[in-house]
DNA sequence: TGGATGGTTCGGCTAAGGTCGAACCATGAC
DNA sequence: GTCATGGTTCGACCTTAGCCGAACCATCCA
């Protein structure tokens, strides 16, 4: 009777509004304490603790103790990917309201998705890299081409950054607000870090929205095609 | 306070085991009546009706009346895709049990995913088409190349089959048991239909598993590479 | 050592929702 | 018209689980 994968067990932890808000609050990839997440969800300590225990038991969250604090993060990029995918679908289901995507324009333009860049800017980077032949799309996922590798070097990434490792270098991630892919995986994280180091982007103390600095706006305009054509199938 | 997309509202309908079983029962793309789905979930008429109303309200299912029957199907390929993605993730979360993928080997080899071919065979077809340069992967999705178009003609598909339309011709679908992509979209459906017409595959009256006929096994061995290499990024 | 603070556990309250039988409504068959 | 049947609605029961205050435990600080 129960030979099927337990979708229900996977969905149940997310089915509570308070828990969903907590998970969403972690979508910027940063770690939060129990108290912070409880406050974000409008709960007391007790409820927050129970909810978070449920989420970690279900494998959505990972906990790490530091002194008397307990820091919670999303358990894996796969989890983050599922959440973004659900957001993308949730945005379209409410047939009653045209409320598509985030209201906050800053969130639409550039935001953190777990640990990489998302939003219109993330999609633009992804499309530009694809159009220039820096990313190769294959069935299982995504590869950095040799020319892409060269581009990354010019961009300031090191050999060791791009070395093969256990986790995939490139990864597709469906963008919630744009309904297109942006770049995740280790490379997504590295590019974001580099852009921060270059002063193009800055994180806000709160929230997932990223600040695009004036020089960042200029530099990105030069480095990435504004509305890249998708590579055409070979003739 | 509720400025975030309501993940919870999306997850809640799936969070009940009975409802999850019903949705899973529809993953073969066929339509079922309320009574059939209730029986599949082990429920009475009353409960089945209520659950199914909830699922259709949430946008997961689509209902169509025929006489005194009410036929339910999955609402869209997007929904089917989310379910398969959740199955893929649910298969890995139970850190306690190594229960990966379906127990039924027939289900592993070839099965219906909504309306196209999934399982090891579906992945093989997908990889072979990609390796032969028939499918072009681009950021937003997937395209049929001119040579792929020729292949489809040889395979027995018509011009009108492959004509542009509102719904995408090709679509990635993450395979639950294989953890790789297989081919969805209109082309996925057409290929499956063609394979059935050729007598390569047969549907079972019950369940999602497909029967691979002996001649089908032979023909598929000739038509599709057994373990195709993934196309390498351009040098 | 004592106090402040973050987190967990416990107990009790309450609301939500799943289940079923029974009544009811519609459709189709005779 | 009458009956059988698929589906929905209603009412009652009961379990689940979310919520909080209070007690408790652990850690850090003074």
Contact of A87 with chain B, judged by CB distance below 8 Å, is answered with yes
Residue range A202-214: average pLDDT?
83
The answer on pLDDT for A205 being more than 60 is yes
**Using one digit for the tens of pLDDT, what is the confidence trace for A135-190?**
988 766 788 999 999 999 999 999 999 988 877 888 877 777 776 778 888 899 99
* Protein residue closest to D22, using CA and C1': A46
The residues in B 10-69 lying below 8 A from A, measured between CB atoms, are: 10-12, 14-17, 19-21, 23-24, 42, 58-59
Contact B83 A7 (CB under 8 A): yes
- How many angstroms separate the CA of A68 from the C1' of C1? 20
Residue A2 pLDDT level (bands cut at 50, 70, 90): very low
Distance (Å) of CA B37 to CA A170, B18, B62: 41, 10, 14
Contact A233 B145 (CB under 8 A): yes
Residue range B118-146: average pLDDT?
86
Residue range B156-178: average pLDDT?
83
Contact A11 B12 (CB under 8 A): yes
The answer on pLDDT for B178 being more than 90 is no
Question: How many A-B residue pairs are in contact by the CB < 8 A criterion?
Answer: 163
Domains and CATH numbers, chain B: 7-75 (1.10.10.10), 81-223 (no CATH)
**Using one digit for the tens of pLDDT, what is the confidence trace for A52-88?**
999 998 889 988 777 778 888 898 888 888 998 888 8
Residue A190 and residue A167 in contact, taking contact as beta carbons nearer than 8 Å: no
- Please list the residues that pair with B141 across neighbouring strands: B138
The answer on pLDDT for B10 being more than 80 is yes
Chain D nucleotides close to protein (CB under 7 A) are: 5-11, 17-23, 26-28
Residue B33: CB less than 7 A from any atom in strand D: yes
Q: How many other CB atoms are there within 10 angstroms of residue A182's CB atom?
A: 27
pLDDT at B146: 92
User: For residue A120, which of A234, A13, A226 has the smallest C-alpha distance?
Assistant: A226
Which one is predicted more confidently, B169 or B100?
B169
Residue A44: CB less than 7 A from any atom in strand D: yes
Q: Poorest-confidence range of A26-30, A92-96, B91-95, B143-147?
A: A92-96
Residue range B185-190: average pLDDT?
90
Residue B65 pLDDT level (bands cut at 50, 70, 90): confident
Contact of B194 with chain A, judged by CB distance below 8 Å, is answered with no
DSSP string, chain A: ---S--HHHHHGGGSSHHHHHHHHHTTTS--EEHHHHHHHHT--HHHHHHHHHHHHHTTSEEEEEETTEEEEEES-HHHHHHHHHHHHHHTTS-TT----S-S-HHHHHSEEETTEEESHHHHHHHHHHHHTT-EEEETTEEEE-HHHHHHHHHHT--HHHHS--SS-S-EEEE-TTTSSEEEEHHHHHHHHHHHHHTTSEEE-SSSSBEEE-HHHHHHHHHHS-TTPPPPPPP-
Residue A232 pLDDT level (bands cut at 50, 70, 90): low
| B231 vs A6, A15, A138: nearest CB | A138
Angle formed by the axes of helices A77-90 and B77-90, nearest 10°: 160
pLDDT at B147: 93
Contact of A163 with chain B, judged by CB distance below 8 Å, is answered with no
Q: How many other CB atoms are there within 10 angstroms of residue B71's CB atom?
A: 15
pLDDT at B98: 34
Residue B69: CB less than 7 A from any atom in strand C: no
The overall average pLDDT reported for chain A is 82
Residue B232 pLDDT level (bands cut at 50, 70, 90): low
The overall average pLDDT reported for chain B is 82
ipTM given for this complex: 0.69
Contact A148 B85 (CB under 8 A): no
Contact of B163 with chain A, judged by CB distance below 8 Å, is answered with no
pLDDT at B234: 47
Residue B158 pLDDT level (bands cut at 50, 70, 90): very high
pLDDT at A1: 36
């Amino acid at each position: 009777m129960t030979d099927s994968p337990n979708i229900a067990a996977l969905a149940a932890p997310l089915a509570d509004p308070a828990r969903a808000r907590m998970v969403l609050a972690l979508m910027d990839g940063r770690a939060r304490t129990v108290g912070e997440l409880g406050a974000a969800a409008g709960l007391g300590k007790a409820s927050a603790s129970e909810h978070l225990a449920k989420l970690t038991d279900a494998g959505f969250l990972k906990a790490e103790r530091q002194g008397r604090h307990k820091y919670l993060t999303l358990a894996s990029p796969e989890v983050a990917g599922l959440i973004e995918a659900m957001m993308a679908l949730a945005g379209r289901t409410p047939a009653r309201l045209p409320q598509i995507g985030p209201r906050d324009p800053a969130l639409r333009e550039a935001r953190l998705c777990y640990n990489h860049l998302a939003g219109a800017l993330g999609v633009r980077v992804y499309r530009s890299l694809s159009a220039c032949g820096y990313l190769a799309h294959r069935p299982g996922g995504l590869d950095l081409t040799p020319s892409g590798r060269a581009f990354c070097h010019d961009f300031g990434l090191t050999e060791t950054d791009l070395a093969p490792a256990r986790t995939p270098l490139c990864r597709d991630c469906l963008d919630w607000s744009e309904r297109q892919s942006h770049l995740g995986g280790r490379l997504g994280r590295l590019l974001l870090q580099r852009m921060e180091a270059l002063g193009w982007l800055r994180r806000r103390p709160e929230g997932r929205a990223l600040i695009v600095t004036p020089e960042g706006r200029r530099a990105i305009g030069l480095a990435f095609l504004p509305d890249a054509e998708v590579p055409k199938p070979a003739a």
